[in-house]
Amino acid sequence: MTQPHVPDPSRLAQPLGDPLGEILHLLKLTGTFYCQSRLSAPWGITIPGFPDVMSFGVVIAGRAWMRVGDDPAFEIQKGDLVLMTHDAPIHLFSDPGARLMQLEDLPIRKVTELFETVEYGGGGAECSIMYGLARLDHASSPMLMALLPDVLKIDPWEEESGSWMQGTLQFIAREARELRPGGETVITRLADVLVIEAIRRWLNGAPEANRGWLKAARDPQVGRAIVAIHRDPAAEWSVDTLARVAGMSRSAFAARFTGLVGTPAMQYLAEWRMNLARRRLRDTDQPVASIAADVGYQSEPAFNRAFKRVFGSTPGQARRTAVPAPT
């Protein structure tokens, strides 16, 4: 049986940094699929939605229309980056009357396991769009995804600080035109950077980003407790020790944490541990008992019960059914 460890009281008063900043620092994407398209009007493409991943489109050249699910269509043009955070189907087309074709029915050329190109259309006005699927790779991803808007559109030309994004898009466009050896690697990695920046801009500028878990992470007291949990999830945390980290009384901390986050502190701790565990089950061959110990459980049976209570399946079942996002 693994023995729990108690948080070090001598460290409780030390500054713990900015929890939201730490989350953004660790945030990265696991790319699952990228498609570089060269299109000529009239054209129309329907892309199915995929659960548990984000999709994004970057307009490299020209202009087009986009409709996400049943929402109204909107125009996109060179330089626009659109991030879709849920699994609604995406419709891209040259004009509202264009015939829609399923992506998988188009003449796709597979370049690598992760990168494909497609050329399609009727020979008219040209448009080039890069489309991708990606998974946020961090234990906080489910909480962040739940708060992100369904559609996030970024125009890097709308402010001076977007100049580096403009340069990045121009670099992607050049690589897409030439597709030199290794070009698909350059394109996909730069696209990842653009998507992360889109999320950061939303977090830093959108009024709706200051709510729920994100608002709690920005709170100078509750945020300290959140980052302490993130840094040391295996510790034998209690409401008392977390209140000491926050510099508050037990009752005031418990009420403030629940009010900001929407769940009690100990429930947040349990869900954070389970998110960490599920990620390791998905991405590693680490034994279940070892994962249980790493996230603070003294025995594998106790961990199994907690995991099933949160996700509705056992760790073993979760590992067997973990599959990469569709390509």
251 vs 262: CA distance, rounded Å: 16
- The pLDDT assigned to 9 comes to 47
What pLDDT does residue 210 have? 76
Confidence band for 159, pLDDT divided at 50, 70 and 90: low
Q: Determine the average pLDDT of the residues in 231-247.
A: 91
State yes or no: pLDDT of 56 exceeds 60: yes
Q: Is the pLDDT of residue 4 over 50?
A: yes
Position 200 confidence tier, pLDDT thresholds 50, 70, 90: confident
CB 46 within 8 A of CB 91: yes
Measured in whole angstroms, the distance separating CA 189 from the mean position of its chain's CA atoms is: 15
Q: Calculate mean pLDDT across residues 93-118.
A: 87
Higher pLDDT, 26 or 109: 109
Model confidence at 22, in pLDDT bands (50, 70, 90)?
Answer: low
- Mean pLDDT of the chain, nearest integer: 81
Q: Which domains are seen in the chain, by residue range?
A: 9-22+212-321 (1.10.10.60), 28-206 (2.60.120.280)
Sign of torsion over alpha carbons 260, 87, 140, 18: negative
* pLDDT classification of 241: cutoffs 50, 70, 90: very high
Q: How confident is the model at residue 282 (pLDDT cuts 50, 70, 90)?
A: confident
